[in-house]
């Protein structure tokens, strides 16, 4: 069977009710997998918000490298909560994910005027 004959057959199979159902099921399964793979930091978003607000209040603007000091203090707080919840030391990848979430959450809070 050559390509010219195979394309109409394949197209008719894909456009059949069974083919459409199969494609829709595969798409929904894939979307479900993608949606369920939330970043780690989203599970600790409440703690991240609390840590960001705490660091903003505790570390004054006049502190040298205030932004970095706030990030470090908030990250230490979030990692401590994470490690206590998990009962183990966080890996470097987990800490990096939490740090990324901290930075994103800080930017969102600042843009919304909540800091």
Do 11 and 60 fall within a single domain?
A: no
pLDDT the model gives residue 47: 92
Do 45 and 23 fall within a single domain?
A: no
Q: Could you report the average pLDDT of every consecutive run of 10 residues in the chain (115 residues)?
A: 77 85 88 75 87 90 87 93 92 91 88 79
Domain region containing 44:
40-111
pLDDT the model gives residue 1: 58
Do 20 and 47 fall within a single domain?
A: no
Domain count, the chain: 2
Do 23 and 60 fall within a single domain?
A: no
pLDDT the model gives residue 82: 92
Do 29 and 73 fall within a single domain?
A: no
3-state secondary structure of 108: helix
Do 57 and 89 fall within a single domain?
A: yes
d(CA 90, CA 94): 6
Do 12 and 58 fall within a single domain?
A: no
pLDDT the model gives residue 34: 74
d(CA 94, CA 100): 10
pLDDT the model gives residue 84: 94
């Amino acid at each position: 069977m050559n390509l010219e004959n195979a394309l109409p057959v394949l197209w008719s199979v894909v456009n059949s009710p069974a083919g459409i159902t199969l494609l829709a099921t595969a798409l929904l399964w894939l979307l479900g997998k993608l949606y369920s793979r939330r970043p780690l930091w989203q599970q600790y978003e409440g703690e991240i918000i609390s840590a960001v607000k705490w660091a903003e209040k505790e570390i004054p603007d006049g502190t040298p490298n205030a932004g970095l000091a706030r990030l470090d203090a908030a990250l230490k707080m979030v990692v401590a909560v994470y490690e206590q919840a998990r009962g183990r030391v966080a890996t470097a990848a987990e800490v990096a994910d939490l740090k990324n979430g901290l930075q994103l959450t800080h930017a969102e809070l600042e843009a919304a005027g909540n800091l």
